[in-house]
Amino acid sequence: MAEVKAFSPRTARRERARATRSRMLAAAFELFVRQGYAPTTMGQIAAAAGVAVQTVHFTFHTKAELLQEVLTKYAAGEEDPDPVMERPWMKEALATPNPYRQLALVTDHGIDIYKRMAPLTPALQAAASVDGQVAALMASIAAARRSGMEAAIEALARKGSLREGLDVKHATDLMVVLNSHETFLGLAVGAGWSVEQFKAWLYLTLCEQLLAPATAADLVAATAGLSYHEQLSRTEKS
């Protein structure tokens, strides 16, 4: 007979609070995507989540803070995620001695973040143009994103892998522009590319722009086990 796990009253309350928080975040995400940030009220979010509006205010304080929590959850694909630089895939990317594998990992997992956030991007852009708190939030996210990419470029530089004549600053500039929400939206949404096609293109482009030349076989081998490996294999064979 399966053992039934007993929960203390405190644990049960924590689990209920966590479930309630999750419902509020899901409701906010859906409403922000469907009708935009500015038209969405805390009352609408509360109603969609099945809670009192006071609960939403008590938990998140302001709509801008709620948006930040939504971004954190849906960008990572989970609640209470580790910072990007502390996630296992990023640690693996920074630690690998193979610079092509580093870019392969960063491309695979980083683009998954863009994919999860794509539905919310129009609402974020519109909100940032009219709400100072949201604009400040987006600026802080952009700064953190650049800092993370600079750390990845510095790891490549320590490996002696940057192509000749390219310094850390210019390499970071290239990474920030090429590996961006805007580029993803333009090709994977606007031009109708599949996510795997975009990942394969971005990986090859980053390798060409940032690293010393490699054989097609080495480039493909570095993506083994990743979501776009087969797409890249077909591309290099054609």
pLDDT digits (tens, 9 = 90+) for 112-165: 999 999 888 888 888 888 889 889 988 998 999 999 999 999 999 999 999 999
Domains recognised in the chain with CATH numbers: 10-81 (1.10.357.10), 82-238 (1.10.357)
Q: Which two tokens stand for residue 155?
A: 């790891």
Q: Quick one: pLDDT at residue 5? A: 52
Task: Enter the DSSP assignment of 46.
Answer: H
For the segment 25-61, what is each residue's pLDDT rounded down to a tens digit?
Answer: 999 999 999 999 999 999 999 999 999 999 999 999 9
What distances in angstroms separate CA 67 from CA 43, 188, 223, one per listed residue? 15, 24, 34
Could you tell me which residues come within 8 angstroms of residue 100 by beta carbon, excluding any fewer than 6 positions away?
207, 211, 214, 218, 219, 222
Is residue 1 predicted with pLDDT exceeding 70?
Answer: no
| More confident of the two residues 85 and 12 | 85
Q: Residue 136: how many CB atoms within 10 A of its CB?
A: 12
**What does DSSP assign to residue 118?**
G
Tokens of 3: 């053992």
pLDDT tens-place string over residues 3-15: 555 557 777 778 8
- 63 and 46 Cβ atoms separated by less than 8 Å: no
Would you tell me how many other CB atoms lie within 10 Å of the CB of residue 36? 14
* Global pTM value: 0.86
pLDDT tens for residues 97-121?
A: 999 999 999 999 999 999 999 888 8
Query: Cα(186)–Cα(54) distance, rounded to whole angstroms?
Result: 40
Residue at token pair 């077909």: 234
